[in-house]
Amino acid sequence: MQNLCSASLVDLMLKTRLPIMRMVDWLDQGFLYLHLPKEKPEEPPPSLHRLRVLGIRTATDLERVWNQSDRSAELKLLLGGALIPNDPKQGRAVISSLLLSLGGEPNLWHVRAFRRLQWLGDEHCTNSQPAPGRGEEGE
């Protein structure tokens, strides 16, 4: 996981035949996995499952939800409880620290930039419609 998250994204794109969406998603998940506190090094962090119950499966999901939850102290408390169930307030501090740590990850910057590309999720990118500037037959 560490090797994937620290590898050159350009090299990964050029040397593998993986779809870019899958690669970016794996990187995004990997950053969250690597930064969550672990009880045992060989096992997944228990908080990973608790965060997924809240709909958070990637590092950028956590950043987005945390930053949008400024209006909801209750949501931040739930997120904190997902990390440290016995002490949600301490969990909130851990998430703040975790997000600061994620801010320094160079490859996560590329993942964030890729995730901001709105056209990737638009319907006009499916095969059911012609590419922009082309006729119905793809001339």
User: Does 63 fall in a domain?
Assistant: yes
User: How many C-alpha atoms does 139 have within 13 Å on its Cβ side?
Assistant: 2
User: Does 48 fall in a domain?
Assistant: yes
Range of lowest pLDDT (17-21, 24-28, 77-81): 17-21
**What is the structure's pLDDT at 34?**
92
What percent of the chain shows pLDDT beyond 70?
82
| pTM, full prediction | 0.78
pLDDT at 107 over 60: yes
User: Does 52 fall in a domain?
Assistant: yes
Q: What pLDDT band is residue 118 in, cutting at 50, 70 and 90?
A: low
User: Does 135 fall in a domain?
Assistant: no
For residue 77, the enclosing domain spans: 2-119
Instruction: Give the chain's domain count.
Output: 1
Q: Is 67 left (phi over 0), alpha (psi -120 to 50) or beta?
A: alpha
User: Does 129 fall in a domain?
Assistant: no
User: Does 131 fall in a domain?
Assistant: no
User: Does 28 fall in a domain?
Assistant: yes
**What is the structure's pLDDT at 33?**
93
